[in-house]
Amino acid sequence: MTELGQNARRASRVIARATTAVKNAALLATVDAIEAASDRLVAANELDLQAGRDSGLDDAMLDRLALTPARLQTMIEGLRQVAALPDPVGVIRDMKFLPSGIQVGKMRVPLGVIGIIYESRPNVTVEAASLCLKSGNACILRGGSESIHSNRAIAECLRTGLAAVGLPDEVVQVVETTDRAAVGALITMPDYVDVIVPRGGKGLIERISKDARVPVIKHLDGICHVYVDDRADLDKAEAIAINAKTHRYGVCNAMETLLVHQAVAAEFLPRVAAIYAAKGVELRGCPLSCELLPQAVAATEEDWSTEYLAPILSVKVVADMDAAIEHINTYSSQHTDAMVSEDFSRARRFLAEVDSSSVMINASTRFADGFEYGLGAEIGISTDKIHARGPVGLDGLTSEKYVVFGDGHIRQ
């Protein structure tokens, strides 16, 4: 791993100064390589699938592992999209003259070497590599051992793409051992790795955060709330409450808890409960909600801090917006929380006082996403406050340095 790290550090200097045209050409050459190698990719993936079936992986795991023709196409589309994104590297902003006569501003620059640790989905290999490359970073990718054959075959396409434009292979390195010690090494080499982005289940991310000696951009839970205020337009509230919960269940920006102002609970709750019932969503309510909703079961304390990722919803009636904010700041995972209200002053306070990476007024939590926010792509959604918060696009994989222009200026 040390050698991989040293190679990455060396390659990071080359990719950091590669032009936008060269980086885009490498991405498009990778598209060609994937198209040319699609049979080989499918064959390699078949080895992983076979091994997975033999070792008793469940259907969901096998599904995530599979490189179907549709997924190959999505991979290719993704590469083209990243090539089309504006290059963040080198952007200079806010150059201004200071009283001393010097001119100071900031220039966006790559972070250096990024380590990505992920689970079985092999498409992450291409996605992560393309975002790192476009943002001028070298990367070391460590996928799940279940997808090792697929990842090796994908890595070869990536190397072909890099070679086509004369970039060194080591700009993208895939850890080809399934030895778990490799992860331990990768996250403890601050000399060679500038940041780790883990993608996967909470267990993986907690383990990595605990042991890392390098900064980690991480995403833990998505315990998202929608608060329906008594000054809400209840049609909007209904649309948002239904969309935030039922648009997709297994995603981090789905609502897990619905908070409703006591003054509208008797009207609003039965109305949405009927829709939830039709969609098969189980409701777990506070005592007041259970009174209003015979079909609800009593929520336990644990429910308020559970990310169901399933057709289950906690429901709580609150006295007012302050109680809603208090509940959110206590139980939210600081991912995404929304209020539905037409009240301007309350909106202003909700925005200021809810401490989450995305705070929304009159919109569904499902919008918390790099594509929906116009970032073009995302490497993940950060629930940290340091460096990158919320959906992380290309900018999140860069830093800014100061640039100073003078004309022989010295400090007095």
**Contacts with a copy of itself, residue ranges (CB under 8 A):** 13, 16-17, 90, 96, 98, 100, 102, 104, 107, 109, 111-112, 194-195, 210, 213, 215, 233, 235-236, 239-240, 242-244, 247, 329, 338, 340, 351-353, 355-364, 366-368, 372-374, 384-387, 389-391, 399-411
Give the shortest CB-347-to-a copy of itself separation in angstroms: 8
CB of 91 to a copy of itself, least distance (A): 11
Please give the C-alpha separations between residue 109 and each of 31, 194, 371, 386, 390, in angstroms, as whole numbers.
26, 13, 22, 18, 20
Q: Is 187 exposed, middle or buried (0-12, 13-18, 19+ CB in 10 A)?
A: buried
Q: How far is the CB of 411 from a copy of itself (least distance, A)?
A: 4
Q: Which is nearer to a copy of itself, 239 or 263 (CB)?
A: 239
Residue placing its CB nearer to a copy of itself in the complex, 66 or 397: 397
Residue type, 44: A
Question: From the CB of 36, what's the least distance to a copy of itself, in Å?
Answer: 34
Residue closer to a copy of itself (CB basis): 79 or 388: 388
User: Residue 347 gets which letter from DSSP?
Assistant: H
User: Rg of the Cα trace of the chain?
Assistant: 24
Closest distance between a copy of itself and the C-beta of residue 47, in Å? 37
Residue placing its CB nearer to a copy of itself in the complex, 70 or 410: 410
Query: Please, what's the b/e burial string for 224-238 (b: 16 or more CB within 10 A of its CB; e: otherwise)?
Result: bbbbbbbbbebeebb
User: Which of residues 223 and 340 has its CB atom nearest to a copy of itself in the complex?
Assistant: 340
Residues contacting 204, CB < 8 A, separation 6+: 117, 119, 198
Helix, strand or coil for residue 108? strand
Q: Name which of 32 and 105 has its Cβ closer to a copy of itself.
A: 105
* CA within 13 Å, CB half, 162: 26
Q: Which amino acid, residue 66?
A: A
Distance CA 82, CA 62 (A): 27
Structure letter (DSSP) for residue 75: H
Closest distance between a copy of itself and the C-beta of residue 258, in Å? Answer: 15
With respect to a copy of itself, which residue has the nearer C-beta, 136 or 285?
Answer: 136
Q: Where are the alpha helices (DSSP H) in 17-120?
A: 20-36, 38-54, 59-65, 69-84
Residue 87 vs 291, nearer CB to a copy of itself: 87
Considering the complex, state which of residue 149 and residue 218 has its C-beta at the smaller distance from a copy of itself. 218
Retrieve residue 204's tokens. 């993986």
Question: Of 364, 400, 365, 396, which is closest to residue 380 (Cα–Cα)?
Answer: 396
Nearer to a copy of itself, 267 or 355 (CB): 355
Shortest separation between residue 244's beta carbon and a copy of itself, angstroms: 8
Report DSSP state, residue 221: -
Q: What's the closest the beta carbon of residue 130 comes to a copy of itself, in angstroms?
A: 21
Find all residues with CB under 8 Å of 278, minimum gap 6, and list them. none
Q: How far is the CB of 124 from a copy of itself (least distance, A)?
A: 22
Give me the least distance between CB of 305 and a copy of itself, in Å please: 13
CA 218, chain centre distance (Å) = 8
Residues 173 and 8: beta-carbon distance below 8 Å: yes
Query: What are the beta bridge partners of residue 284?
Result: 297, 314
Burial of 387 (0-12, 13-18, 19+ CB in 10 A): middle
